[in-house]
Amino acid sequence: MRWRKRLTDDRGSAPVEFVLVGTLLALVTLSVLQVAFALHIRTTLIDAAAEGARFGALADSTLEAGIERTRELVSTALGEGYAQSISAGTGAYGGHPVVIVTVRAPLPLIGMAGLPDALEVTGRAALEPLR
């Protein structure tokens, strides 16, 4: 009888509930922040690749200049570790010649650390004809 009363008594359970719910809430909050951070990095890389493609597509510019412009933008915004694998080439999009800049970078999983070369983005720009 005495044990049954003790098992149904819920005194002292509030601190345990607080710790369990607080831990779960902190984990969810940190996960949302990490996803937002990964999306920020992806968006920054897309913008840098597109700007590098626009720079490389100018009539008096080269593909190497587009790569260097992209590398400069990524290094300034995110750091040297994200500007390691950048390539450029030409192609067609909608029947028109374009410059394509591709950036491969780490996908951040915990803070800035993550999977190397797991994130790949491209930027395209119409190739200006020489006059």
**What contacts 116, CB < 8 A, 6 or more positions away?**
106
CB-neighbour burial class of residue 73 (10 A; exposed 0-12, middle 13-18, buried 19+): buried
Q: Is the pTM of this model over 0.75?
A: yes
Per-10-residue mean pLDDT for the chain, 131 residues long? 66 81 94 92 95 91 92 93 90 90 89 81 87 62
Q: Which of 27, 76, 21 is nearest to 47 (CA)?
A: 76
The pLDDT assigned to 2 comes to: 67
How high is the pLDDT of residue 125?
93
